[in-house]
Structure 1
């Protein structure tokens, strides 16, 4: 076994810590450096697991942190959901400037391997369906086709990573589907908190809309395989998923029902209507954040397009070149997820039917407002 020192940007996040555990487990000689702006909770430094402060927006911070490193997993990003999606400057600084700093430092420190965790959103805008697409099917959209800065900047970063690849600097990009799992702290907690408030009792689009998801440990395995593929398959991009497209709300209902919430996603609201509702919410958020309070919007346009338009990928390339396979099947992964959230206070404890009438009234009122506004504009024209 060879000795490797892996640095992980965003190393104290959900996937970063799971990747670190996996790399330590598979090779007793591996050393892991967690790069982040805060150390993980219950962190105990050892000879093999080291935390270093690193703000990737700062070139000096990156340069100082990446000493004596043989390979970098670049997982750090910003702006995936909620109010973060509307913080445009932070999104650009982390996702684009941060990636520039990583690439430049790799070259200056002679670090010859860089694995980037991208996203389906790098090539998905929500303006058209993606049906079992391969990497060759998807050209990068022009920047103004994206409705959110997270997707736009992840696309820019991915292109920078691939362009930087040379015979001496080997890069690869993994495009994961939506990530879930036991201990996940972004998608599932956000959805479950909305369910608790009685907000999520409807679905978006229709029941035939399909999308991909990926369990955390399957993504970690793909990242590991991507590192092992270098330098042979330098400069490649791979879609990664659980290889089981499913309706988003059918998928989420497994979680909510498993936690005792039996009346979620009772009916579908068309994607276009929810898109305009989300647009109004974003406008209200912009005004409120500027003058009153920076609340967390329960829905954004990008989130509507993520759940309300079919998009799933063919992962044959990852299977053939990386040797990827789904290590944890989706049924087992969901059982683990339900068990974890059940044990960490997310099981239903109160009746939420009282909330539903309020939100049903509110959403109906907003839909009527949009309808009358549309009619008013038509008359004026």
Structure 2
């Protein structure tokens, strides 16, 4: 009997791409676990990851041998959601895998598990320790979930690994590209925080999906994949604001001039914006964390993924960005999308 895949979060951004790559090689046994269905040519289990009986039922009924868990809430939500989904949901997945004799669990983590909200990450690799303290619950819970997955390696012969992509983008992206284009609508492209000397790593979604399938294919009891984390990027760090301006250029938008704002000024203005939002009972859009994020060096060494997984980006950074923007341009032209 061939492998039987369960893609948890298969209706999401990354999950859909993993399914697409599996379909391209004619995998006959692909199952999706999610809150809703999208694909017509795979089998669905509709359920809630935070309910153990739902995920256990899917794994048992599907006779699953390989689980790929891509689920994670978007950033900017309440802390309780991250703990419930990222941590408690991951515990449910691990327990169901162990109890049902699943062979492999590939977990989507994040390069942000290494980020404390302040310190630079310069060519960071997998030997970089977790921060002692995190700036937000999203990164903290992603790190906690990753640690749980790696600790589960070997239990009832389950093999586990975690992949850490940085800043995933691509067609149907719900966060990165829409956020960059929303800056155009708000008339804010003329502002730059920092001197743009900081390098940032991005990950085209198809490359990330490919890395997950590589891990699923190659993880075995006699190699160095089980129990390990792997950083996954395009391997092409660029100055933070260059990426934004290249994106804007795809939409034929070119800032007429640039007002360069020192990081210290940005932090002061963000602090005022946070207080104003708090007094109005609103979620702040401009925060000190985002200022620190946009001024930080965040690029990574992916040698481990290249050496052990055999990973190489299959789509280059500029080509991936062009494909992404073309998708959104077509959506805008068809009136199916509006950036707010």
TM-score, normalised with respect to structure 2 = 0.90
> How far apart, CA to CA, are the structure 2 residues paired with 1:225 and 1:118?
16
State the partner residue of 1:139. 129
1:370 alignment counterpart:
none
Alignment CA distance shift 1:30-1:301 (3 Å): farther
**Partner in structure 2 of residue 71 of structure 1:** 66
Q: Is the 8 A contact 2:180 2:247 kept in 1?
A: no
119-128 or 168-177: which moved more?
119-128
Which structure 2 segments of 5+ residues have no match?
A: 335-340
2:232 match: 240
Return closer, same or farther for 1:235/1:208 CA change in 2, 3 Å cut-off: same
Q: For residues 227 and 99 of structure 2, what CA distance do their matches in structure 1 show?
A: 19
CA contact (8 A) 2:8 2:15 kept: yes
> Structure 2 matches for 1:41-52, cutoff 5 A?
43-44=39-40, 46=41, 49-52=42-45
Q: Which residue of 1 aligns with 2:329?
A: 342
Q: How does 1:74-89 map to 2 (within 5 A)?
A: 74-80=69-75, 83-84=76-77, 87-89=78-80
Paired with 2:246 and 2:140, the residues of 1 have a C-alpha distance of 31
**Alpha-carbon distance between aligned partners in 1 of 2:230 and 2:162, rounded to the nearest angstrom:** 6
Within 5 Å, which residues of 2 pair with 1:49-128?
Answer: 49-67=42-60, 68-80=63-75, 83-84=76-77, 87-128=78-119
* Kept after mapping to 1: 8 A contact 2:8/2:70: yes
The question of whether the paired residues in 2 share the 8 Å contact of 1:258 and 1:338 is answered with: yes
Say whether 1:197 aligns with 2:180.
no
Distance in 1, matches of 2:267 and 2:191, equals 14
Secondary structure at 2:87 match in 1: helix
Relative distance call for 1:131 and 1:100 in structure 2 (3 A) is same
CA distance in 2, matches of 1:229, 1:159: 21
Deviation at 1:275, TM superposition (A): 3.6
Q: CA deviation at 1:100?
A: 0.7
Contact 2:5 2:68 (C-alpha < 8 Å) held by counterparts: yes
1:199 aligned counterpart, secondary structure = coil
Shift of 1:205: 2.1
User: Matched residue pairs, number?
Assistant: 328
After superposition, where does 1:155-194 map in structure 2 within 5 Å? 155-166=143-154, 168-194=157-183
Q: CA deviation at 1:53?
A: 1.2
Larger Rg: 1
1:168-204 CA-partner distances (Å, limit 9, x unpaired): 0100010001011122121111221232121343122
SS at match of 2:105: strand
| TM score, norm. by length of structure 1 | 0.81
Q: Name the Cα RMSD after superposition.
A: 2.0
Question: 1:9 matched to which residue of 2?
Answer: 8
Post-superposition Cα deviations, 1:105-162, rounded to whole Å, max 9, x if no partner, equal 11111112110111111111132211112211x11112xx211110010011111111
